[in-house]
């Protein structure tokens, strides 16, 4: 990310936590960031756009911390437990901003609806990858119900931490949740109980999840060629929505994305999924 953009994001995080989203003005943000007002609109079209950028910024920080923790062990269960510890620590460190976002009614337009769907995609994809690494193909028939239950646990504990942090041992949470996931998955696998969710939901389509991840990285880690990469992603998205996508077009667009080192691995993953 460009240095000025990061300064604006950091200033807005502080101000939103202190004063709230609606009360904080763009002028206050640029004053806190010590940049010209025109700089704000070089990077963001609105405060809604800024909220999205804050998430992108936090996602990059959180993903880096989780990736680092995952390298500390080869045991997938311990990797997940370590990542959960990072997840809750991150939540605790950013309670004021999270409280503000949950408390204030931020206007939801079409772009924000798309953004919120992407947030859910990334969260479920993270859970899905970890749970499948632990339990493999045996959990696949039950995975979407498991994701819903685990997501519910995480959200409920986060809400508890928000209202009464002192009454909960946050350090104990990761291992406790891992144990509950183990009980749940082993019971489903052993009893082969029929689950309510019968098919993969549309918003968890593999191609959409990968596209979202690439877009996220373009915003969060690419300092150059952002617009070119985003144009290629948009073109891929449009092509995939056609009844008969042109393989040669997809191949050309993917070759474009693969030239950028920051997203090369994900672009190749998308190529594999698309069989191009």
* Average pLDDT, consecutive stretches of 10 residues, N- to C-terminus, the chain (276 residues): 81 87 92 91 85 79 84 93 94 80 63 73 90 96 96 94 92 97 97 92 80 80 82 91 92 95 91 91
- pLDDT value of residue 51: 83
User: Could you give phi then psi for residue 113, rounded to 5 degrees?
Assistant: -65, -45
Q: Tokens 């992407």 label which residue?
A: 118
Q: What is the pLDDT, as a whole number, of residue 256?
A: 94
What is the predicted pLDDT for the residue at 94? 82
Contact indicator for 46, 54 with CB cutoff of 8 Å: no
pLDDT tens-digit series, residues 70-86: 888 999 999 999 999 99
Q: What is the pLDDT of residue 142?
A: 96
Measured in whole angstroms, the distance separating CA 251 from the mean position of its chain's CA atoms is 26
Judge residue 159's burial from the number of C-beta atoms within 10 Å of its C-beta, 0-12 exposed, 13-18 middle, 19 or more buried. Answer: exposed
**What pLDDT is stored for residue 111 in this prediction?**
64
Structural domain boundaries in the chain = 68-202, 222-274
The distance between the two most distant Cα atoms of the chain, rounded to a whole number of Å, is 63
130 within 8 A of 79, measured Cβ to Cβ: yes
Q: Are the C-beta atoms of 81 and 174 separated by less than 8 Å? A: yes
Residue 193 structure tokens: 């109980």
């Amino acid at each position: 990310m460009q240095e000025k953009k990061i300064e604006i994001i950091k200033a807005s995080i502080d101000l939103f936590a202190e004063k709230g989203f609606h009360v904080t003005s763009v002028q206050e943000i640029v004053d806190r960031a010590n940049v010209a007002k025109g700089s704000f609109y070089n990077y963001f079209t609105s405060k809604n756009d800024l909220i999205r950028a804050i998430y992108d910024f936090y996602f990059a920080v959180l993903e880096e911390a989780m990736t680092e923790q995952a390298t500390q062990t080869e045991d997938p269960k311990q990797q997940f437990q370590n990542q959960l510890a990072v997840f809750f620590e991150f939540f605790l460190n950013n309670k004021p901003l999270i409280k503000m976002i949950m408390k204030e009614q931020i206007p939801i337009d079409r772009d924000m609806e798309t953004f919120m769907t992407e947030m859910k995609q990334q969260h479920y994809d993270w859970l899905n990858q970890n749970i499948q690494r632990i339990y493999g193909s045996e959990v696949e028939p039950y995975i979407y119900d498991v994701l819903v239950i685990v997501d519910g646990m995480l959200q409920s504990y986060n809400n508890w931490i928000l209202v009464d942090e002192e009454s909960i041992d946050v350090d104990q949470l990761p291992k406790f949740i891992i144990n509950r996931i183990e009980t749940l998955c082993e019971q489903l696998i052993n009893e082969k109980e029929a689950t309510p969710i019968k098919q993969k939901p549309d918003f968890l389509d593999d191609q959409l999840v990968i596209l979202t991840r690439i877009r996220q990285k373009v915003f969060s880690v690419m300092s150059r060629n952002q617009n070119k990469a985003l144009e290629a992603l948009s073109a891929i998205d449009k092509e995939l929505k056609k009844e008969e996508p042109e393989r040669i077009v997809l191949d050309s667009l993917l070759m474009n994305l693969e030239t950028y080192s920051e997203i090369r691995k994900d672009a190749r993953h998308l190529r594999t999924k698309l069989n191009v």
